[in-house]
Structure 1
Amino acid sequence: MKNNTYVEELNKKDAKALAEELTSAKKELFNLRFQKATNQLDNTARITTVRKNIARIQTVLTQKTKVAE
């Protein structure tokens, strides 16, 4: 249920906002990987969540670009 609401929120955003969110998610993923490498990461499941969110954002971006064409 929580994922469905997240995807609905993504669908409401425009391409520019999605690109910004994608950039911030990738930065967060980098930071999480860095914390994992230095044994500072407490919640390792967060990496999986962020990776799936990145995939969701990219999917919505692709859908929006195909509709625009």
Structure 2
Amino acid sequence: MAKIADVRGKSPDELQEMLVDLRKEQFNLRFQRATGQLEAVGRIKEVRRTIARVKTIMAERSRTAQKQA
């Protein structure tokens, strides 16, 4: 699980890449759950919350950029 301090330390490009990777992982986990192959059920919740963290940081940065402009 990514800590918020780790997420805040990443650049916008790294955040975007991290978001894409998390979305892929989320898709794979949902697919595994649907086929009955998922063992780590808690990982779905963890990935979902990490996606929310990344999106929150991205939104905060875009709001501050708009205020400064």
Report the TM-score when normalising by structure 1.
Answer: 0.89
What are structure 1's unaligned runs of at least 5 residues?
none
Aligned-residue Cα RMSD (Å) equals 1.3
**Candidates 38, 41, 50, aligned match of 1:41:** 38
Tell me if 1:32 matches 2:13: no
Q: d(CA) in 1 for partners of 2:48 and 2:10?
A: 20
Aligned length: 66
Which consecutive segments of 4 or more residues in structure 1 shift more than 6 A?
none
Higher Rg: 2
What is the percent sequence identity of the aligned residues?
A: 38
Report the TM-score when normalising by structure 2.
Answer: 0.89
Tell me if 1:50 matches 2:47: yes
